[in-house]
Structure 1
Amino acid sequence: MELNKNIISQIQSIITNARQKAIRSVDIERVLMYWQIGKVIFEEEQQGEERADYGVFLIKSISDTFQPQFGSGFSVRQLEMNRQFYRTFPITNALRSQFSWTHYRTLIRIDNQDKREFYIAEATKNHWTARQLERQINSQLFERLLMSNDIASVLAVARNEKQPGDAKEIIKDPMVLEFLGLKREAAYYEKDLESTIITHLQDFILELGNGFAFIARQKRIHIAGDEYFADLVFYNRLLQCFVLIEIKTQKLSHQDLGQLQMYVNYFDRFEKQAFENPTIGILLCTDKNDAMVKISLPENNQTIVTSKYQLYLPSEQQLLDEVKKEIEKLDNH
């Protein structure tokens, strides 16, 4: 007699789930342990605040006492992180059970409270792994969204306090595509870039933002006997509309804008249902001329968005320079 394969599958599933829960339970307890140790250190340190070097002495003494028995979890550096953990998150009920210690270790390195609250809200809402959280911070997601939005609006969308009413509230400029693994000095055809995006679709959707679902690649469009092909088609459930993405590996031209506007018009007339919002088009390009874009599109344009892409993570100085440019633009209006 052979054992029923369904029974084997069920038992394997039970074992896997139990192991995952056990690992998760251990991780939750570890987070609480580090928080409690940080609390003890912080409170003791405050009592000896008249001695400037008491904090250093305290952490060194605790490390010397416990590290031989419990290992690197009681190194001076780890104990300093525990103290910082408690100082950053002083209310234990505010700790998120879905966050691992690796999540918190990344979050406590963020000095700006608004910025930290943004990443907490986004990581919670989107169930980011610790690796995804670190990647989003390294790609300066918060700063990129601030280029076309104010802090209050960015935080409100992140916390689900408001639904995005404008594509620019969730679409970043520039988009950072370092996960594609392409060399920035090389020349690529649009079809090559598109193929690589499809290969890394999960990462690309994460970079696009909240609420995106993939619909089609090279979507055929028939217009008066002629055939055209939209590079990538997505749907955004928050904006409740189709999102078309055209990839351009050269500098943006007004012909590119006209072509994308035609695709957007087609979707609005033949694909969109009555309850859905107007289609949005994104031109993903290596370079763009903001003045040309502004002149080429209607003044009340809400449907065409241009976004530069770059194949490497930006430095903090690059982002600061970009933010400064945006502020100067606002001052000049």
Structure 2
Amino acid sequence: MLENGGDYLLVLSQVKQGIAQTRARAVSRVNSELICMYWRIGALIDARSFWGSKSIETLSQDIRTAFPGIKGFSVRYLKYMMKFARETEWEIVQTVFAHISWSHNIALMNKTQSSDERLWYAKASIANGWSHSVLIHQIESHLYERQALSTSLNNFNRTLPKPESDLAQQALKDPFIFDFITAQQSRTERDIEEQMVENVTKVLLELGTGFAFMGNQYHLTVGGDDFYIDLLFYNVRLHCYLVVELKNEKFKPEFTGKLGFYVSVVDDMLTGELDNPTIGLVLCKEKNDVVVEYALRSIDQPVGISAYRLGDELPEGYRNVLPTPEDLQTRL
């Protein structure tokens, strides 16, 4: 046995943590240098506008001859570098795009339509630690349109202090896309809820970073009476609970009264001293924004109202990129 075993384990833990952090920083620095190099190479080639495809093919071959075994300098990749330099400002490369991988950058060049959209997804990837596959999923589910340009209605600016109100705004989107559920599977609210619980990992991905699932039909006893919250989540970034009321119909003003009741009960019974105020969210099939705005005026708790779409009820612009009901059936 080692003497001072407790001290040894503490030192070991700190050494391991230091090594891991240094490795992560080293990998990050190498990636940043590579992305910046790709931009500089792309700018250098792009400035020679008189070059044809043959010149780029020759350049690719000569690079690989000079550096045997080197990867990432095919004709296709050299053209990506040119596109990267042509469409991205150097200052933004250094501050944003150099902090995501080259595969992330290629996905953004292939799948986004504007520089604003591309920058938004790049920043979101950094903030949320999205993998390449998660980034593609978020682009193909039109997260930029649904979140950055969201029409979700809420009273967060009035009921939450900053920066909590801004973070809460970022957590909402409109509509929420539950493309793993079809109308055939979801005849009632309980059917939708059960499908969401069975696919909770996909639900958490759609909700965004930091959410943990606490339960469905979450039981609360108030004054001896029993009540059940449809879905309850906790967000570790917001440090608050999220109460979700699921409605398989158009929004009605009375929905906010029931949701406000649940938010108050959760605040009193579940939140700790370090938790922020509980947030409520009504997910409904559709909503009249004017009706929603009036309904929110009298609500003192932080509440948001968003629509949701199922796999076979998607707006026209989503249908070409999300799975069809037939695709979903073949996966089962």
Q: TM-score range by the shorter chain?
A: 0.5 to 0.7
Matched, 1:58 2:60: no
Q: Indicate how the Cα distance of structure 1 residues 254 and 38 shifts in structure 2: closer, same or farther if over 3 A, else same.
A: closer
User: Which residue of 1 is the match for residue 133 of structure 2?
Assistant: 131
Moved more, 283-292 or 111-120: 111-120
Name the residue aligned to 1:13. Answer: none
Give the match for residue 146 of structure 1.
Answer: 148
The secondary structure found in structure 2 opposite 1:188 is coil
Task: Give the root-mean-square deviation of aligned CA atoms.
Answer: 3.9
Deviation string, structure 1 residues 206-240 (Cα, Å, up to 9, x no partner): 22123322222221122333211101111223333
Residue 171 (1) aligns with residue 172 (2): yes
Residue 53 of structure 2 corresponds to residue 43 of structure 1: no
In the TM superposition, what is the alpha-carbon distance from 1:194 to its structure 2 partner?
1.8
Counterpart position of 2:214: 215
Matched residues in 1 for 2:240 and 2:165: separation?
Answer: 11
Question: In structure 1, the residue corresponding to 2:276 is in which secondary structure?
Answer: coil
- In the superposition, the TM-score normalised over structure 1's length comes to 0.67
Please list, as runs of the form range in 1=range in 2, the aligned pairs for 1:1-333 lying within 5 A after superposition. Answer: 36=37, 39-40=40-41, 42-46=43-47, 48-49=48-49, 51=50, 54-62=51-59, 76-87=75-86, 88=88, 90=90, 99-109=100-110, 110=112, 112-148=114-150, 163-166=163-166, 167-178=168-179, 181-184=180-183, 187-299=186-298, 301-312=300-311, 316=317
**1:308 positional shift:** 0.7
Equivalent pair of 1:219/1:230 in contact (CA under 8 Å) = yes
CA deviations on 1:227-267 (whole Å, 9 max, x unpaired) are 11101111223333221011122223334332222211222
How far apart in 1 are the matches of 2:148 and 2:129? 22
Q: How many residues align?
A: 281
The answer to whether the 8 Å contact 1:72/1:78 transfers is no
Residue 43 of structure 2 aligns to which amino acid in structure 1?
F
CA contact (8 A) 2:263 2:301 kept: no
Q: Please state how far the C-alpha of 1:81 moved relative to its aligned partner.
A: 1.1
Q: Is the CA contact 2:33–2:98 (under 8 Å) kept in the aligned structure 1?
A: no
CA distance in 2, matches of 1:220, 1:65: 68
Cα 1:40–1:273 shift into 2, 3 Å: closer
Cα displacement (A) at 1:121? 2.1
Show structure 1 runs of 5+ residues with no match.
1-20, 150-161, 319-333
Give, in angstroms, the shift of residue 77 of structure 1: 3.5
- Report the identity percentage: 30
Q: Is residue 41–residue 81 contact of structure 2 (8 Å, CA) maintained in 1?
A: no
Q: Secondary structure of the residue that 1:276 maps to in structure 2?
A: coil
Report the 3-state secondary structure (helix = DSSP H, G, I; strand = E; otherwise coil) of the residue aligned with 1:221: strand
Q: Under a length normalisation based on structure 2, what TM-score does the superposition of the two structures give? A: 0.68
Task: Look up the equivalent residue of 1:232 and give its one-letter code.
Answer: L
Describe the shift of the 1:32–1:80 C-alpha distance in structure 2 as closer, same or farther (beyond 3 A): farther
Bigger shift: residues 288-297 or 216-225: 288-297
Q: Structure 1 CA distance, aligned partners of 2:64 and 2:286?
A: 53
C-alpha deviations, 1:174-199, integer Å up to 9, x for none? 11122xx2225664322222222223
Q: SS at the partner of 1:277?
A: coil
Q: Secondary structure at the match of 1:83?
A: helix
Write out per-residue CA displacement over residues 35-70 of structure 1, whole angstroms, 9 at most, x where no aligned residue: 646644531442x44x4xx24453244467789998
Letter in 2 for 1:78: Y
Deviation (angstroms), 1:102: 2.1
**Structure-2 residue corresponding to 1:17:** none
CA distance in 2, matches of 1:97, 1:146: 22
In structure 1, the partner of 2:323 is none
User: How far apart are the structure 2 equivalents of 1:242 and 1:219?
Assistant: 12
**1:92-140 CA distance string (max 9 Å, x none):** 7657787443212112343533332322222122211101111112222
Tell me the equivalent position of 1:327: none
Paired amino acid for 1:165:
S
Task: Say whether the 8 Å CA contact 2:247–2:283 is kept in structure 1.
Answer: yes
2:185·2:192 contact (CA, 8 Å) conserved in 1?
Answer: no
Unaligned runs of 5+ residues in structure 2 are: 1-22, 152-161, 320-332
